[in-house]
Structure 1
Amino acid sequence: MFILSEIEDTVKVEPNDFRKDNHIAITDVLNEKYANKIVQEVGLCICVYDILHASDGFILYGDGCSYIKVLFRVVVFRPFVGEILTGKIKSCSPRGVRVTMGFFDDIHIPGAALQAGSEFDPAEQVWVWNYDGEKLFMDIDEPIRFRVLREFFTDTTPTVLPASGSQQRRQSIADTSANSDLVANSTKIPPYSLTCTIQEDGLGLLSWWGS
């Protein structure tokens, strides 16, 4: 579920942070830039784990900030395909069930990937598993165990419009962290999501299996 990923970047340390220990100053900048951000083909960055290498800082004329090239590792949430996880039901719709793990909500279990015999109850707005003559309701906030089927990365960052005569380019989410709220609200497509299943014995609501 959690892995360590190596990333290389150049950090900008403001003059006000020169009083800090160099390691702490670099870590603070990196956490501000990467923590709780999706990096394409990497996953959801949780926090900086350690710094493997940091170059000597250099200061640009007229800027006053120190620029340091850093190789570091981050703790990343990126379950592998086939991994079994436990979360809670966040919402239900005719399309399926949305699951949250508290820190990550873009987990979808399509209706076709629910237990055989499941159907959506429009009156209760939840899915119901019809099992052996009983109706087992999949209520909101119920703990649920599921298996990861697929992962999807989608570049949702806005395209930077080129100036006249210049070439168009696209920025990464990490590089546009200051605009992360705008990015999140500009599209309904999540930058990273999981499609999962409970169509196996032992999967589904924990209450079904007594665990």
Structure 2
Amino acid sequence: MFVLSIIKDTVAVHPQHFGAPPEQAITNELNKKYANRVLHDVGLCICVFDLAEVGEGKVRYGDGFLWYKVIFRLTVFRPFPSEVILAKVKSSDEDGIRLTVGFFDDIYVPLVFLSEPSAFDPNERAHFWMPSSEATSAHELLDSAVADRMYIDTGEVVRVRVESDEFYDDEPGPPKATEGVQQAHENRRPPYTIICSIAEQGLGPVSWWKPGADAMDEG
């Protein structure tokens, strides 16, 4: 789930931090820059793990900052394909299920990766699975008895397998105007999303496979 990535950068230390140990001041500045930021094709940055190499600090004319060239290792959240992880159901709709691990919410289980046969109940706003049903359509499944359905409820802990991840770089362009009327920006995609599956034995709500295991540690 977490990996270490080697990053090269040049970082500035403000004069007010000159009294602190250089390694600590540099680490603090790097964390300000990278923590909770998505790097394209790298993942979600968590924090600096350690400094591998630090050059001699140099003062640039005009700003008084000490600039350091550094090579450091960064702790990154990026589950690899086929990895099994635990997450909580954040929401559900007709397109699938959205999951969260607390610090990251853009994890999705699309319809194609749900257990079969399953359907979305618009009244409960949740998907349900009926493993013993012979129904072949969502309409038939929605005619079933509610007591026979195995719901995937909001807040439930699920075990999922990572299928893929996707990175987007949707930089906002200048606003468009039509006949002097400014048009609203189109919705931007999240910079990093993870696609997961529950369509195999042992995946899905942990309560399906291990009764009583219905809570995940916070954080």
Query: Does the TM-score normalized on the shorter chain lie above 0.5?
Result: yes
Partner of 2:82: 82
Alignment partner of 1:138 is 2:152 = yes
Match of 1:101 in 2: 101
Structure 1 residues without counterparts, runs of 5 or longer? 161-184
Paired residues for 1:15-26 under 5 Å: 15-26=15-26
Is the contact between residue 156 and residue 187 of structure 1 (CA under 8 Å) also seen in structure 2?
no
CA RMSD of aligned residues (A): 1.6
User: SS of 1:131's equivalent?
Assistant: coil
Structure-2-length-normalised TM-score: 0.82
Q: What is the CA–CA distance in structure 2 between the aligned matches of 1:112 and 1:85, rounded to whole Å?
A: 19
- Letter paired with 2:11: V
Distance 2:198 2:59 in 1: 55
% identical equivalent positions: 44
Q: Which whole-Å deviations, capped at 9, do the CAs of 1:11-46 have from their partners, x for residues lacking one?
A: 011111111110000000000000111011110111
Distance in 2 (CA, whole Å) between partners of 1:111 and 1:188 is 22
Distance 1:150 1:26 in 2: 34
Deviation at residue 131 of structure 1 after TM alignment: 2.5
- 1:112 to partner: Cα distance: 1.7
Residues 170 and 188 in structure 2, CA contact (< 8 A), matched pair in contact too: no
Distance 2:161 2:68 in 1: 41
Cα distance in 1 for partners of 2:39, 2:208 equals 36
* TM-aligned CA deviation for residue 66 of structure 1: 0.8
Counterpart residue number, 2:39 = 39
TM-score, L = length of structure 1: 0.85
Give 1:123's aligned residue: 123
The one-letter code sitting in structure 1 at the alignment partner of 2:196 is C
Aligned-pair CA distance for 1:188: 3.3
* Structure 1 counterpart of 2:189: 189
The count of residues paired between Structure 1 and Structure 2 equals 187
SS in 1 for 2:82: coil
The letter for the 1-side match of 2:105 is D
Moved over 4 A (4+): none
Q: Give yes or no for contact 1:79–1:148 (8 Å, CA) kept in 2.
A: yes
